[in-house]
Amino acid sequence: MHEPIVDLRSDTVTRPSAKMRRAMAEAEVGDDVYREDPSVNRLQERAAEIFGRAAALFVPSGSMGNQIALKLHTHHGQEVICEERAHIYNHEMGALCAFSGLVPRTIRAEDGLLTWDLIAPWIRGRSDHRARTGLIELENSSNLAGGTVYPPEISRDICERAHAAGLPVHLDGARIFNAAVALGRDVRELSQPFDSVMFCLSKGLGAPVGSMLVGSKELIEEARLIRKMLGGGMRQAGVLAAAGLVALEEGPARLATDHANAKFLAQELAEIPGLSLNPDKVVTNIFFVDVLGTGLTSFEISKRLAARNVLINGVTPSTMRIVTHLDVDRRGCERALQVMREVLPARPRAEVA
Ligand code: TLP
């Protein structure tokens, strides 16, 4: 008999709960392009309220939310400053160039966390020779840096100094609720200094689809137009917003469990010969494991695990990303560990040498 799948590829794989499905089935709907979908309107009002902003917009994906924000804050030919591992740069299909005509100015920062000192030398004002900086973008938590979290005083400092220099700052807060739980702070407080914030309902919070863009009334009015331009006018989207509302109200409270599971997995994996990681750095639900010492590529390990119904993605040939979420409990973590021990060579390369 096959064991159930333990899927640690991403928190995007979560499936809607029974309560969400009920809410979806019973959702009041209307045409949201006419602003007549009561469920979408409720979700937008609630998101704005939680983030302490004037308005919010329901968008089909985090990528679309980010790209709308980049478009709104910039002009073609400008630079956007972001960390080298930023999602907007690495995983949004080059949309920042294709759609907004932006040049990414990437900066490498320890743990993916920028500081004003790292950013300041790259800010370009009006010049006869160089593209001007149009926007600074931060990601919290930082996905590709392993779920790391900005100390609130650092992100606030960046925003304040950027504003003093006349620059807007966008927050890719796909997992801002994870950051808030890790820090024991409020999402409102963490996101308050930013000009716009995107967060995802469809990751750790558990909704099947959807993200939100929050900001001022003027910004969100403009965002509606860009969303429509991108084909993101969703009509009777209340069936999705209803699930989003359940995610928003009930999702954050259980993220601490995902963080504890990630920590547990990291501590146990660090004990397996051939695997290398620092469990002390695991503060949210994402971390990376270096598999070089096993003598196998991450892709080979991925294949071996998948044959045993454990799904973990290789990201580079020597690293794998592990993401915990509501569809993987502690027993699932224990089974993933057991299978990992079984598929790796008994004497890894480092020891054989
Ligand atoms: N991230 C996905 C992949 O695209 C890598 C994942 O599995 O983690 N910002 C951040 C920080 C993200 O991690 C993601 C998704 C997005 C934006 C985009 O969200 P979607 O997938 O809804 O477009």
Sole residue written with tokens 């920062």: 109
Pocket lining: 61 vs ligand 1, CB cutoff 6 Å: yes
pLDDT, one tens digit per residue, over 15-28 is 999 999 999 999 99
Pocket lining: 91 vs ligand 1, CB cutoff 6 Å: yes
Ligand 1: which of 200, 284, 315, 325 to mutate, judged by most atoms within 8 Å of the beta carbon?
Answer: 200
pLDDT at 352: 47
Q: Evaluate whether 91 touches 104 at the Cβ level (below 8 Å).
A: no
pLDDT, one tens digit per residue, over 131-184 is 999 999 999 999 999 999 999 999 999 999 999 999 999 999 999 999 999 999
pLDDT at 349: 57
C-alpha 281/C-alpha 283 separation (Å) is: 6
Average pLDDT over residues 282-310: 98
pLDDT at 353: 43
Sole residue written with tokens 């910004």: 219
**What does the block give as tokens for 68?**
């709308």
**Chain center to CA of 66:** 11
- Does the pLDDT at position 350 exceed 80? no
**Domains with residue ranges and CATH for the chain:** 18-250 (3.40.640.10), 254-351 (3.90.1150.10)
pLDDT, one tens digit per residue, over 198-238 is 999 999 999 999 999 999 999 999 999 999 999 999 999 99
- Does the pLDDT at position 40 exceed 50? yes
Residue type at 225 in one-letter notation: L
Q: Evaluate whether 106 touches 89 at the Cβ level (below 8 Å).
A: yes
pLDDT at 346: 78
Pocket lining: 138 vs ligand 1, CB cutoff 6 Å: no
Atom 6, ligand 1: residue with shortest CA distance: 10
Pocket lining: 137 vs ligand 1, CB cutoff 6 Å: no
Pick the atom of ligand 1 nearest to 9's CA: 7
* Band of residue 2 on the pLDDT scale cut at 50, 70, 90: confident
Q: In angstroms, what is the span from residue 164 Cα to ligand 1's centroid?
A: 30
Q: Evaluate whether 319 touches 174 at the Cβ level (below 8 Å).
A: no
